Amino acid sequence: MKLEPRVVRLITTITEYQCDDCKEGAMVRDSGCGDIQLTSPPKFKHICTQCGSVDWLSGAYPLFKHTHTLSDEASEGGAERIRKLEQTVLNMEKQIERLSQDVQSAKSGWSQ
């Protein structure tokens, strides 16, 4: 049996650690530095992208998490989302029609 390539949908989630000092920048592990604090768990030197503040964090930020689904699964999920959205829009159209009728009834009562 010969295996065929398959299309996979890749989803990447990035977790950033916000700077405690400036509250604007993100803490990024200092790649030019091999310094590690041998605590439990170990801590790594990070530098803020905005203000340059230094902090020691137990993870290496930013953190990247990758998940994947087969393209068939992804398209089925997308089709289900589209079906639900279409149903929501249809329900909203019915509600708008009812409200429009209520407005017309109220207007006709005012003109008497």
Give the total number of structural domains in the chain.
2
Distance CA 38, CA 53 (A): 21
pLDDT tens by residue, 29-55: 987 767 788 888 999 999 999 999 999
The answer on 85 and 53 residing in a single domain is: no
Report the length, in residues, of the chain.
112
Asked whether the whole model's pTM tops 0.75, one would answer no
Average pLDDT, the chain: 85
Could you tell me if residue 3 is inside a domain? no
Could you tell me if residue 42 is inside a domain? yes
Range of the domain at 35: 9-68
Distance CA 51, CA 25 (A): 7
Do residues 45 and 58 make contact, with C-beta atoms less than 8 angstroms apart? no
